[in-house]
Chain A
Amino acid sequence: MRLLGREVGCVRGGREVFSGLDFEAASGEALAVVGPNGSGKTSLLRLIAGLLAPVGGTIGLEGGDAELTLPEQCHYLGHRDALKTALSVSENLCFWRDFLGGTKFDPAEILARVGLDHAADSPASFLSAGQRRRLSIARLLAVQRPLWLLDEPTNALDSAGQSLFTALMIDHLARGGLIVAATHIPLGVAAKEFAKELRLGDAS
């Protein structure tokens, strides 16, 4: 499987954010998108997710499921956590599992993997920012998708949470998945040879 972007351009609010951008990532590779604020990292992820329309170029997933579009094969972990505060932690997780078409499983098991099993029945409104992030990460585990689009994934996570998430990413890559992550700090997988870097917004 291979994610290919060719000559991709993006315009937001009449301003050209980037143009003529080429990128690619194969199965088992993580692509770290780096660059200063406003260089278009989030815009690139939203372009891949189909939430923004590119002004030129093509983005495609070679060797994916031919029946599905690219966004349907993606997990998008954005700035906002997509949690309902009126529902409990496990209700939130079970909703996304059912809506996104995950296999039936015990929510407690997934919550244990992200370290939230003690809070399964408490309302999501009582979670801290880091716990909300962990609950969003649980969504990535509950439903299988080959391509993970991560926007500042380790924001608000403590150091234990960051190393936990790094382990989950390495596990996902080892099973042939792809990751595109916008980030300021190095991804934990950066030391590995399968990590690539895409630099946006350079003056040069």
Chain B
Amino acid sequence: MTALAALMHRDIRIALRVGGGALIGVLFFLSVVVLMPFAVGPDLALLARLGPAILWLGALLASLLTLDRLFMADHEDGSLDLIVMSRTPLELACAAKALAHWIAAGLPLIVATPVLGLLLNLDALPTSAVALTLLAGTPALTFTGMIGAALAVTLRRGGLLLAVLVLPLSIPVLIFGVAASQAAITEPLSFGAPFSILCALSLVSLVVGPFAAAASLRHGLD
């Protein structure tokens, strides 16, 4: 347990230091959302209708932005060899790293959502609905993205490959995340059903992600 706590503590600390990934994601999220009103035009009703989808897209891309470094950085400096050799099961170490990444890069996005909701003419209720769905849905993005990050180490190609591998996997999360947010705004639709599916997607990825990533890392050792 100390080993996992130490690993999470280290990753969060690196992400929060200068040059770490935590701020980059939020800044990217901010730039995407700020640019949207300029592209869509001054139609307030349209903005409010598109708002949840824009916030979700921005959060999705921002959470993928720093994910490719999740294992690559450890691979490059040799830490990954020692993590693989250690007495901590690799699956748990992968889960700890993904959790640390979500805390450092995912949570700030959720905190920034109410501020960005203002820019998109969203009221308090829709904004909090989006924030709630992001809280339930972004762990799924991180934990499925982790599989892509592990494959990127194996194949020695970072960056774009990760996006190509991971974006198809994140489509269900996007569909149900936006559906749940829209349901909270437009009355007759039910919020519960898509939100439950979103939570289920997160729970499944919490289980599958670490095993798939660890298998990929073990298989791809060189």
Give A residues with C-beta under 8 Å from B. 49-53, 68, 71-72, 74, 76, 78-84, 86-87, 91, 95-96, 98-101
Contacts and interface: CB of A to CB of B under 8 A. Distances in A.
Given A98-B2, A99-B3, A99-B86, A82 B221 contact: no
B87 A74 contact: no
B156 interface: no
Interface in B1-48: 2-3, 5-7, 9-10, 13-14, 17-20
Given A84-B77, A96-B82, A101-B86, 4 more contacts: A50-B85, A68-B87, A81-B78, A86-B19
Given A51-B221, A81-B78, A101-B3, A95 B84 contact: no
Nearest to B222: A52
Closest 5 CB pairs of A and B: A80-B78, A98-B6, A82-B78, A71-B85, A86-B17
Interface in B115-164: none
A80 B14 contact: no
Contacts of B84: 50-51, 71
A95 B7 CA distance: 7
Contacts of B79: 82, 84
Contact of B7 (A49, A50, A78, A99): A99
A84 B10 contact: yes
A71 B20 CA distance: 31
Interface of B: 2-3, 5-7, 9-10, 13-14, 17-20, 76-79, 81-88, 221-222
Contacts of B81: 49, 51, 76, 78, 80, 82
A168 to B, nearest CB: 19
A23 to B, nearest CB: 20
Given A84-B77, A86-B17, A99-B7, A52 B221 contact: yes
A84 B74 CA distance: 9
Contacts of A72: 85-87
Contacts of B83: 99
A51 B79 CA distance: 12
Nearest to A68: B87
Contacts of A96: 82
Given A78-B81, A84-B79, A100 B222 contact: no
B82 A87 contact: no
